[in-house]
C-alpha cells in the first residue's frame, strides 16, 4: 500500500516508548537530522503508473517508517516539528526525477520477470557495446568518492563509519599503567578502512523507473540470465587476474546509528542507498593496491542473456 501525505508520520505509542528508552539521535545536529529524514524518505519514495510520487509504507519498508518516526520525534523534542512538516511531501523529490514518466511509457505494460534478474543502467553508447560486443568497464572503488558524481552514486566505498551505542565508555592507559576513563561528549564513531582498492561492477536486482535519473542513464540492460552473465565476467577476470579475489552478492545496507559491528566494506553501503537494491560484483587484488585504474573486459556474446531498453 502506498499513499501521499503532507504531514509528518505520527509515531505510535510503542515507537515513542522505544525511542525514548534509547534516544540514539540525541547527539545528532539539526542538519544531520534533516539529512537523515531526507535519506529515509527518498528510500520510501515510489511512483504510480501515472508518475505521481508517494511514500511506500508497506511492511517491506517498516524499518524505514519507524526510523522516520524516530527522527520526527527527536525534532518534536527539540521544538522543530516545522522542519519535519517542510519535508513531509513526496513532491519535494519530483525535480530530481524528470525521466520517470518517460521511463513508464517506454516500459509500457510489461511485467517484471518472475525469476531472478538484474538491471544495468547506463549510457546508451556503453550499453550498446556491452549488448552487441560484450565489452564492460570495471571502475575502482576509489573512483566513487569523486565530488562531481551525483548523490545517488557518490560514496566513500573504501571506508565506513558506525556510531557506537550511546553510553559507550572508553578508557586510556596512563603512564603508570592504570586506566583512566575518557570524558565523552556526543556520539563516538568507529571507522574502518579497506586495506586495498578494488573493482566494482554495480547492477540493480530490480527494475525501477527512478533509477534512470539516479544513475544519469538513457538506457538499461535487462539481464534475464544473471548466472550466465556473471559467469562470463568471472571467466574474463580469470584471464588477466587469475590470482585476484572474486565475490558476487546483494549489497548489505547498514544504518550507521543502529549497528554494532562492521561487515565487509566491499559488500556494504550506507542505508541511504537501500532503495537501489544493488547486486554487486567485486574483484579484489590479492595484495593491497592503493589506487587502481579503470579496466575493460571482453565477455564475448551476451545478447542472448539480456535485453536493451532505451529511453
Residues 82 and 135 in one domain: no
Q: How many domains does the chain have?
A: 2
Residues 195 and 53 in one domain: no
Of residues 50 and 10, the one with the higher pLDDT is 50
Residues 148 and 262 in one domain: yes
Assigned domain for 226 exists: yes
Of residues 104 and 174, the one with the higher pLDDT is 104
Query: Hunting for cell 504531514 — which residue is that?
Result: 7
What digits encode the pLDDT tens for the residues 213-245? 999 999 999 999 999 999 999 999 989 899 999
Question: How sure is the predictor about 204, in pLDDT bands with cuts at 50, 70 and 90?
Answer: very high
Assigned domain for 177 exists: no
pTM, two decimal places = 0.87
Mean pLDDT of the chain: 89
Confidence check: pLDDT of 62 > 90:
no
What was the pLDDT predicted at 12?
Answer: 79
Query: What's CA 304's distance to the chain center, in Å?
Result: 29
Residues 36 and 126 in one domain: no
**299 HSE (CA, 13 A, CB side):** 24
In the chain, what is the greatest distance between 2 CA atoms, to the nearest angstrom? 74
- Domain end: 69, 96, 123, which one? 96
Count CB neighbours of 1 within 10 A. Answer: 7
What was the pLDDT predicted at 258?
Answer: 81
Question: How sure is the predictor about 59, in pLDDT bands with cuts at 50, 70 and 90?
Answer: confident
| Segments forming the whole domain that contains residue 71 | 2-96
| DSSP one-letter string for 200-219 | EEEEESS--TTHHHHTT-SE
Rounded percentage of the chain residues whose pLDDT exceeds 70:
91
The torsion angles phi and psi of 150, rounded to 5 degrees, stand at: -75, 170
Grid cell digits, residue 36: 537523515
Assigned domain for 170 exists: no
What digits encode the pLDDT tens for the residues 242-275? 999 999 999 999 999 887 666 789 999 999 999 9
What was the pLDDT predicted at 183?
Answer: 64
Of residues 261 and 88, the one with the higher pLDDT is 88
Residues 220 and 261 in one domain: yes
Question: How sure is the predictor about 166, in pLDDT bands with cuts at 50, 70 and 90?
Answer: low
Residues 118 and 200 in one domain: yes
- Domain end: 49, 77, 96, which one? 96
Residues 114 and 210 in one domain: yes
Alpha-carbon span 252 to 138, nearest angstrom: 20
Residues 91 and 119 in one domain: no
Confidence check: pLDDT of 3 > 50:
no
Assigned domain for 15 exists: yes
Assigned domain for 32 exists: yes
Residues 201 and 302 in one domain: yes
> In sequence order, what are the residues at sequence separation of 6 or more whose Cβ sits closer than 8 angstroms to the Cβ of residue 261?
162
Query: Hunting for cell 568497464 — which residue is that?
Result: 137
What was the pLDDT predicted at 72?
Answer: 92
Of residues 123 and 167, the one with the higher pLDDT is 123
Alpha-carbon span 36 to 40, nearest angstrom: 6
Question: How sure is the predictor about 152, in pLDDT bands with cuts at 50, 70 and 90?
Answer: very high
Confidence check: pLDDT of 4 > 50:
no
8 A C-beta contact, residue 171 and residue 180: yes
Closest CA to 155 of 46, 11, 278, 62: 278
What digits encode the pLDDT tens for the residues 41-52? 999 999 999 999
Question: How sure is the predictor about 5, in pLDDT bands with cuts at 50, 70 and 90?
Answer: very low
Closest CA to 201 of 113, 119, 286, 310: 119
Assigned domain for 185 exists: no
8 A C-beta contact, residue 117 and residue 227: no
Residues 145 and 27 in one domain: no
Confidence check: pLDDT of 120 > 90:
yes
What digits encode the pLDDT tens for the residues 171-186? 777 778 777 777 666 6
- Domain end: 43, 68, 96, which one? 96
Amino acid at each position: 500500500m502506498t499513499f501521499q501525505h503532507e504531514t509528518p508520520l505520527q509515531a505510535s505509542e510503542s515507537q515513542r516508548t522505544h525511542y525514548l528508552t534509547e534516544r540514539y539521535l540525541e547527539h545528532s545536529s539539526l542538519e544531520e537530522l534533516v539529512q537523515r529524514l531526507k535519506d529515509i524518505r527518498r528510500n520510501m519514495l515510489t511512483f504510480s503508473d501515472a508518475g505521481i510520487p508517494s511514500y511506500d509504507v508497506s511492511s517491506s519498508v517498516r524499518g524505514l517508517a519507524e526510523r522516520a518516526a524516530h527522527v520526527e520525534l527527536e525534532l518534536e523534542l527539540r521544538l522543530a516539528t516545522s522542519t519535519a512538516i517542510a519535508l513531509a511531501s513526496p513532491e519535494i523529490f519530483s525535480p530530481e526525477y524528470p525521466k520517470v514518466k518517460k521511463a513508464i511509457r517506454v516500459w509500457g505494460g510489461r511485467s517484471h520477470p518472475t525469476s531472478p534478474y538484474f538491471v544495468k543502467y547506463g549510457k546508451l553508447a556503453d550499453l550498446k557495446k556491452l549488448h552487441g560486443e560484450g565489452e564492460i568497464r570495471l571502475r575502482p572503488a576509489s573512483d566513487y568518492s569523486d565530488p562531481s558524481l551525483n548523490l545517488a552514486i557518490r560514496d566513500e566505498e573504501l571506508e565506513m563509519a558506525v556510531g557506537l551505542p550511546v553510553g559507550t565508555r572508553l578508557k586510556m592507559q596512563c603512564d603508570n599503567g592504570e586506566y583512566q576513563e575518557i570524558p565523552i561528549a556526543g556520539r563516538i564513531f568507529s571507522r574502518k578502512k579497506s586495506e586495498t582498492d578494488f573493482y566494482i561492477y554495480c547492477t540493480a536486482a530490480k527494475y525501477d523507473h527512478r533509477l534512470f535519473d539516479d544513475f544519469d542513464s538513457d538506457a538499461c540492460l535487462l539481464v534475464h540470465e544473471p548466472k550466465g552473465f556473471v559467469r562470463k565476467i568471472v571467466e574474463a577476470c580469470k584471464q588477466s587476474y587469475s590470482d585476484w579475489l572474486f565475490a558476487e552478492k546483494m549489497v548489505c545496507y547498514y544504518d550507521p546509528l543502529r549497528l554494532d559491528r562492521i561487515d565487509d566494506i566491499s559488500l556494504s553501503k550506507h542505508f541511504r542507498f537501500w532503495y537501489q537494491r544493488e547486486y554487486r560484483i567485486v574483484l579484489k587484488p590479492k595484495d593491497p593496491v592503493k589506487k587502481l585504474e579503470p579496466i575493460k573486459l571482453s565477455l564475448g556474446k551476451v545478447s542472448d542473456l539480456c535485453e536493451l531498453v532505451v529511453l
